[in-house]
Chain A
């Protein structure tokens, strides 16, 4: 909300130099789908969308299965002064977030639109439109921002076409999937996507959320939004387990996987569990030739937000050490409510090199932007 400021002292401008930040999870929205996205959709799909809306594998066409904690899951202070949804106004994003936080690289992850849509032809057309829109409205106007290549992942062949269409385009720095797929992401159905991403030299990023049809727990649907929110971490564990055990990283040795917005503190325990099972179950999964923890360390990066907050903050350092400092990518999730602030998210003093890696260099290196 806008706040009346009743102040008679000159605001002391904060001149303290802030370190440069890579924010690996920013969510842009169109001000209006009709105005901003329709120009990139054929008449056929414009009419289809007007008539049938966008149908996902969940019951409500206009909102999530679990109503969020606050409207649009957005920070209350992120509504642009010009009106419209949070994340829909570049100038406001620049003045509220990119500038003050010294964001040198901002990775755009458009959500809640084209992916996981049941009509696969529509999903493909919509993804393509959102890809064009990202360049038109965002990345061509602010070079700190980079786009995610949206693919209609339930139709891997269409996804491959979309990747091939944009391969080599400097605006796109990763292929984006959502985590709640119809089948576990390690399954062979999805392999053409990994193949195409590797050929295009792009990492594959998987952002928490979406609807694949299965309940968010193996034991049915919970009652509360908080359970679904927390459940994204378990969901991400399942997809990572699938990719490791199906042998995706052995089949695609150059594949880089980025797990977005699922937290990270769960990873050590999962790696230890998979290592133990791998040792015991070698006869079932002989195609996995190395311990899962090694494959994960070499192929998987995680964005940090929402950072887990242990009671003893130094326990977070244990956890990061067990994951590997170089495997974490800082993210704010702007403009969403569970945003992590760059100046406060890391509650402990860490060394300069670790800090620069955590907040910037790991991402630059991963995306090949460090040259």
Chain B
């Protein structure tokens, strides 16, 4: 029997998505120059091909509106994403196409505007909500500035990056971001999606959106390799990486392969001084939805054994993306005990700020 999240007193949803209703909504959070630029140059909406807005996967049918943009205001989120699931805390990961822009200056302006919009329109209006800081990964220096600007507000609980950026995410040019995140007790949330600075597959651009979405899993494999091989965790031993909307059933097999090759090639990356599969279990956390699940519960239970730890998964609905129906978010094969870990203990162990007192952004 599947378990309903409502049966639990503490339900922490680690991945929900507010939609920026239009670029106009961000203008109040930009300075005069960028307000003017956006109007004068006719800058378009930064929605991306990672989530075509009418594709079935992008918004669950019963979460679509007759009129208006789905998931674009706090009332909708309360009514659709929080209340029906008995959610006590939910982390907003805003997937506006900031990271896709070519100009780091423009990206930085958009990132700040999105963060301030989230603060004013969501965090200030609903105490159950938390958010990831959107950063302009085009410039690690500007990204660090944005983290520093918001770090004092404990409602920002992580830092958001896309799984397919211009460079593999373990590379050292991104390390100032990880240093800042670790300093402030913020995990990095690596979310599905591409900046489209490269083809989404290693064999070029696909024909169908279905392939684009499927390709995220391969990119998550690649980035797990990158974080480990580059030595991110040798350098930042407290850093946790949340892989969001990644699927998770691929995780063990990939680490078998990486660990096997590491035994023979470790001299190339001598800072990796223990098996990658162990490092991965210590530092990566994966959100629950979507579940690329095997056809039977028995297989699912065996797969959960392959995962090798009950501390890896974090509960998520991936609202408003259509990953499941009704409130059937927890699959058969997850016991009540494991569900408690996934819904409460694992998130709290991953996001230190979920256990710290809030200051609502007021300087202390």
Contact = CB atoms under 8 A, between A and B. Distances in A.
A346 B67 CA distance: 59
A184 B269 contact: no
Nearest to A187: B207
B21 interface: no
Max chain A C-beta neighbours (<10 A), residue from B170, B253, B290, B302: B253
A280 B322 contact: yes
Given A226-B269, A233-B221, A315-B305, A69 B264 contact: yes
A277 B213 contact: yes
Contact of B209 (A221, A225, A230, A284): A284
Nearest to A281: B210
B132 interface: no
**Contact residues on B (Cβ < 8 Å of other chain), bracket:** 35 or more
Interface in A298-343: 306, 308-312, 315, 318-319, 322, 337-338
B185 interface: no
Max chain A C-beta neighbours (<10 A), residue from B165, B194, B204, B268: B204
Contact of A272 (B204, B219, B230, B293): B293
B226 interface: yes
B268 A224 contact: yes
B164 A218 contact: yes
A273 B202 contact: no
Interface stretch (A168-176, A238-246, A362-370): A238-246
Contacts of B166: 219-220
Contacts of A239: 201, 203
A269 to B, nearest CB: 4
B230 A310 contact: no
Contacts of A179: 203
Contacts of B55: 281, 284
B287 to A, nearest CB: 15
B64 interface: no
Nearest to A222: B168
Interface string B280-314: 00000000001111110001001101101000000
A319 B306 CA distance: 10
B142 to A, nearest CB: 19
A241 B214 contact: yes
Interface in B297-342: 299, 302-303, 305-306, 308, 322
Interface in A261-283: 263, 265-266, 268-270, 272-274, 276-278, 280-281, 283
A77 interface: no
A49 B27 CA distance: 60
Contact of A245 (B206, B290, B294): B206
B204 A183 contact: yes
A214 interface: yes
B197 interface: yes
Contacts of A187: 207
Contact of A217 (B202, B250, B257): B202
A269 B164 contact: no
B342 to A, nearest CB: 19
Interface of B: 55-57, 163-171, 194-195, 197-211, 213-215, 217-219, 221-223, 225-226, 229-230, 247, 249-250, 252-254, 256-262, 264-265, 268-269, 277, 290-295, 299, 302-303, 305-306, 308, 322
Given A220-B168, A270-B217, 16 more contacts: A217-B218, A219-B164, A219-B165, A219-B167, A227-B225, A230-B225, A230-B254, A230-B258, A230-B261, A233-B221, A237-B218, A242-B207, A272-B292, A274-B214, A309-B260, A312-B305
Interface of A: 69, 179-187, 212-227, 229-231, 233-235, 237-239, 241-242, 245-246, 263, 265-266, 268-270, 272-274, 276-278, 280-281, 283-285, 306, 308-312, 315, 318-319, 322, 337-338
The 4 closest A-B CB pairs, nearest first, are A265-B253, A217-B222, A238-B201, A273-B292
